[in-house]
Every structure is written in C-alpha cells, then in structure tokens.
Amino acid sequence: MRRIIAGNWKMNGAPGTVTAYAEALRAAPEAAALIVCPPFPLLPGFAAALAGSPVGLGAQDCHASAAGAHTGDVSAVLLKEIGASHVILGHSERRADHGESNAVVNGKVSAALAASLIPIVCVGETEAQRDSGEAEDVVRTQLTHSLPAGFAGIVAYEPIWAIGTGKTPSEADVAAMHGAIRAALVTQFPASGAAITILYGGSVKPSNAASLLGLPDVGGALVGGASLNAADFLAIAAAAPND
Ligand code: PEP
C-alpha cells in the first residue's frame, strides 16, 4: 500500500516560500504519495511550481455551492480549475471556528465530488469524549452524517486533543480507532468501504511517523505543523512503509 502523506499548512506560509518548498518536494520518495494543502492564495503558485510532478495539491475548504452570493467562500469548481486535486473538509478547526456541522460538511463533500476533487474528510473526538469512552461512537456518528452516498475520497482520523499539542494516542488506540472506522465504512459503503484510505493526523513528526504509519488500516498521515518544513515533511514520507 502506497501511503498518502498530506500536509495541511493551515493559515501559514507566504508566496516567497512556495517555489523552494515545491522544488524540495520533487525529491519525495516514490513509496509515498504527497499532497500539499496551502492557504487559498498560494494555490496558483503551487500549481505552477508543482507542474509535471506527482505531488497533489489540496485546498483546506470549499463551499457546498458551485457559484453564487457567498462572500468570502470558494467553490470546489474554481479550486479544480486552478489546479487543485484534493480538498480537506470538516477539519476540527473549521468545525470549531466556523460551526461546521456534519450536515454542512456533507454538502461540501458532495460539491467536491461533483467537481472531481478528492475530499479528505476529517473526523475525531475531543479529549473529554475519549476520557468518557465515547470516542468511537462520536467518530461513527461523524462518518454517518458527514459522508454522502457514493462517497469516494479519503477519511482522516484526527483526535482533536492530539492536533498541534505534541500528544499522540497510543499505537493500540490508533489501531483500534482505524479498525472501527474501517468497519463503519464497510457498513456504510459495502462496495467500496474496504478500499477507502484512512489517514491518521495529530502531531505526526519524523520521529513517530514510522510506527504510526505501520499500524493496520493506517493508509497515511495528515500532517499539520511538521509539514511547514519541507525536510520534516519529506522525512515523514520517507518513514512510510510500502507494503
Ligand atoms: C492537522 O491540523 O491536521 C494536524 C494534524 O496538525 P498537527 O500535525 O500540527 O497536529
């Protein structure tokens, strides 16, 4: 399995950093598939700088409509036109900062699929939900309501308490959650659920990448902070097994 390593730059980066970063990614190991997801204004620069390379280009959000009176929003159709291949949807920071419900995420996923973008749909529990034993139920509910019929994309399990904190779940907990997600996907999508890639996200760095990426049903990583540094991002990709 070729692991997918996606970098979420969040609201970081600047035009002057794009060319050197994109050039560095050309040295990516073939064993992993890389995707870089910068802020909207950097997408055209990245599309030009990555031209001819196998590295994917992702946005961090899109609107559920193809066009219209939605000030400040960006459509999946436009993202596709300017060269994006992927879009992160339902990230916990958007669910928290912008009140995005599962229903809102579901509409955005449908729009992404209609525009031929590959959605990377994030799910994950809070620390309180994990402590109270609800983590798997919370994630199953997010999957049920965030993924539309005919879903064809990527799921990212991102425990909210592990994002940007340096904390990661135990390997046993990651494996158990990925197994639970796999089972839920097979139930929800009997024909395709077994093949949907499930990424792990939350404080992935070069030093823990090999062990996390080697766990059952972990098809890659969604990387925040460590993706801002090309060398670290490449080191994470290099740690990915190709089995
Ligand atoms: C993320 O924001 O998707 C993420 C996983 O962040 P970090 O790697 O910084 O925890």
Interacting residues of 225 by C-beta distance below 8 A, sequence separation 6+: 164, 203, 205
Among 9, 35, 158, residue to substitute to test ligand 1 (most atoms within 8 Å of Cβ): 158
Residue 243 has pLDDT above 90, yes or no: no
Atom of ligand 1 nearest to the CA of 162: 10
Q: Which of 63, 86, 91, 178 is catalytic?
A: 91
The one catalytic residue among 100, 125, 136, 158: 158
DSSP secondary structure of 84-123:
--EEEES-HHHHHHS---HHHHHHHHHHHHHTT-EEEEEE
Instruction: Say yes or no to pLDDT of 242 above 90.
Output: no
pLDDT in tens, 110-131: 999 999 999 999 999 999 999 9
The residue whose C-alpha atom lies closest to atom 7 belonging to ligand 1 is 224
212-226 per-position pLDDT tens digit: 999 999 999 999 999
Q: What is the pLDDT of residues 4-26, one digit of tens each?
A: 999 999 999 999 999 999 999 99
Judge whether residue 30 has pLDDT over 90. no
- At residue 29 the predicted structure's pLDDT band, cuts being 50, 70 and 90, is confident
State yes or no: is 158 an active-site residue.
yes
Q: Is 91 a catalytic residue?
A: yes
